[in-house]
Structure 1
Amino acid sequence: MTSETEMSSLEFRYGDTYFTTYMNQVPYQLENPLFELPQENGFSSTGEGRIRNKLYMHQALIRLYNHLSLRVNLTTEITKEFSPTLYERDVRSPCHNDKCLFLTNKHSFPSIRSFKYLPYINISESERLHSSFFNTHHFISHPYSNAVDHDNFTTWISQDVIKKDDYIGLDLLLPMPVPLTFNLIIDHDRDYFNHLSIQISHDGSEWIQLSPLPKLEINDLSTSFTKNNLLSCKFLVRETGFRFLKLVSTKDWNFTFSIYDFTFNGHMDENNLVVNEVSLGDDNDEND
């Protein structure tokens, strides 16, 4: 294989990078913390490892660029962008236990179409161009995963203020057979909850607005030592069989999303009595 592809044996370790690059499609960007595995020349968060990762991504792009350049005078099939398209994508990060996905329509990355790849620009220069266009400090400090990492001391903060129809939500991965209680810890104005549409969906495409709205149990978590409007919100959704839930703002606000935690619990409800509470957000095999 190495002689046929002119690739080194080490390059095959980066097969996923080459596969996604050769699809010539904008990749679906998900954010979550990465952890090193005990393997030689694998992913590494160290300085040397990060440089190696970038070098092989750059090499993959050069190979793709050269391949496409040879096809300039050939008949090339026009390919459509994969669905969901770049601006339709709203899955941002897996929850801390991989039992749900965090959803929001708020983008934290600049449009990838704002940049054009040129193989003669090295990695350092390419990163400098990106950094001069877009300040990454905010996203690095307040990434999407902080909203669902089961840690009340970290927070996801959106880049810009909340607009009408902006939303946050969860993909629960499976249709839920039991009623669910959702728990939200946020740093928002209390009036935010008076202008919400809570919606559920079976397929993520067709949405049903809950009417009347579930009763919202809101508590103030702020203390004399904090300057924020830290609030907890708990509500029960009695409908079953849905997989997706989102909270949609019905008006513009002058503040950003600031989500400390977003979790859910399941209830085995019999004769309108909760006989067993199962925490679907905890790593407990007995509850799976």
Structure 2
Amino acid sequence: MTLAPRDGAARFLRHVSIERGLSSHSVAAYRRDLDAYAAWLEQNGVADLANVTPETLSTYVRELGASGALAAASITRRLSTVRGMHRFLFDEGVLPQYAGSGVRSPKRAKPLPKALPIADVEAMLQVVSGDDPTAVRDRALLELLYASGARVSEVTALDVDDLLAGPGGGEVWSDPVGALGDGGFLLVRGKGAKQRLVPYGRFAGGALAAYLVRVRPDFAARGSGTPALFVGPRGGRVSRQTVWLVIRAAAERAGITAEVSPHTLRHSFATHLLSGGADVRTVQELLGHASVTTTQIYTQVTADTLRERYLDAHPRAR
């Protein structure tokens, strides 16, 4: 018995509408995907869904990608709909094979990370100032995020003992200014419990010293004696949600309209290092990436920036 593509689609649409109770909007989206698929099969001389093989579906996906009319996400959604229909008809015993087996969705292009211009980062840091205890803590927090490129989860997990003294030496607990004022190192615990040493400079060191001397002792005394580096007014370890709110508030006060998150500062850290001449292997180590391939996405960002500057500056570039 022959099952025409549009007849198979109609049967599947009845199933998702009546038996699965999908909304009218979802059913309409399924119908559009299946109409396009049925039209493609008809154009390619496939009149019976029983004749569709995994190779047929793979060809369909390749042609959708080659046309350039749909984004990878849209192709993936359309393939998911088609697979769903074939799976349903196979499970119902209508089709002799499941044509979606082994058919891969197109790879989605990785979006380039968004980095703030250096001036925007500096503006964010400048607006978080003053003698208010929370402001002193927030300044140290933001300075350290940008100076180290650490993940927000890594920074909130830091204990005071994870601050290692800089070139001047000194004991962090007894003499924060002497130990950290010129910068130092962080002992960061990243993904997979891997540890790495990350340096930070004098701006972050000075902000950390001010926080440790003027704010943390009072905040920590209100809690249960946590070893956490960054604590709140009640003495508990600062959460990732708190860091996100601090960053968003600083961005708004600095007049930055782009969406800014803790990861934005991490992206900015990497991009600014590469733009300044750091090699990709060094940045890989600082970020804690297991593979340099992950870090190399930032080289595309800096390459785009270099090209823009070249086009603007060279008299025969355009």
Output the TM-score relative to the length of structure 1: 0.24
> Which structure: greater strand fraction?
1
Output the TM-score relative to the length of structure 2: 0.23
Bigger Cα Rg: 2
